[in-house]
Structure 1
């Protein structure tokens, strides 16, 4: 990012670049400094919104008021960029295993993480999972990639995630509504 130079009586010696997460809320913390009127922020999460402010420092150690806030969203990420396809590995009267749950990058850019959501039928309970971070709220399951399976080139897939669930005896329903973002 770049900005217009600041001037004062003592002479500007540099700038503090402040960053806050998200489109609102969060606390601004110093992301870096610059002796010029530009700054490149690295190591950010793809597909994520950040807000920035800049303040000048002079030779006497004084700092200016912060600039207006600029909001940016990094490129990449997974919004609408993937698909999730379940495969039933095995099932029995009181449970089943879905493996693999194939995640495919359907975008034209590399993605660095993915999130899959799906709905468990009433009475079903997740009893185990592997190779992802899984949370359950009611019957909604949210699955997030982990470090070794989140980055997918365009058209690439990962088949490393799976899960096991229990169900009432005789209930043959399976999870539905798989979405990937």
Structure 2
């Protein structure tokens, strides 16, 4: 039998996302999310989270944001999806309801 030489796995093309509160007022708030590529370059990213208190997205920028019930999905804009390893992109939004810090999930397109 033929033995193949070991191969080095490709660098991780994952991503992470961090929520940063920007401002809050009666009945609304503004937030920003920073996306960071993992140890490999990525061609796109998607960040998802669930609101726990009935919050709604009013407007967004630097991402395409959609909602389904309490679930929010943000996909990169055409100009900020390609990131080098460790590269960063951010997007922002305004929302209605009480500000809270959601738990984010980031999925990368390699």
Give TM-score scaled by structure 1 length: 0.50
Relative CO higher for 1 or 2, CA cutoff 8 Å, sep ≥ 6?
2
> Aligned partners of 2:61 and 2:30: how far apart in 1?
11
Deviating beyond 2 angstroms after TM superposition, the runs of 4 or more aligned structure 1 residues are 75-78
- The structure with the greater share of residues assigned to strand is 2
The residue number in structure 2 matching 1:165 is 95
- Quick check: which has more Rg, 1 or 2? 1
> Aligned partners of 2:78 and 2:11: how far apart in 1?
16
SS in 2 for 1:90: strand
How do residues 37-116 of structure 1 correspond to structure 2 at under 5 angstroms? Answer: 81-99=14-32, 101-106=33-38, 108-116=39-47
Would you say how many aligned residue pairs link Structure 1 and Structure 2? 98
Structure 2 gaps of 5+ residues are: 1-9
Following TM superposition, by how much is the alpha carbon of 1:137 offset from its aligned partner in structure 2, in angstroms? 0.6
Structure 1 gaps of 5+ residues are: 1-74
Alignment RMSD, CA only?
2.0
> Aligned partners of 2:46 and 2:12: how far apart in 1?
10
Contact 1:91 1:97 in 2 (8 A): yes
> Is 1:150–2:76 an aligned residue pair?
no
> Aligned partners of 2:46 and 2:74: how far apart in 1?
6
> Is 1:134–2:60 an aligned residue pair?
no
> Aligned partners of 1:76 and 1:141: how far apart in 2?
28
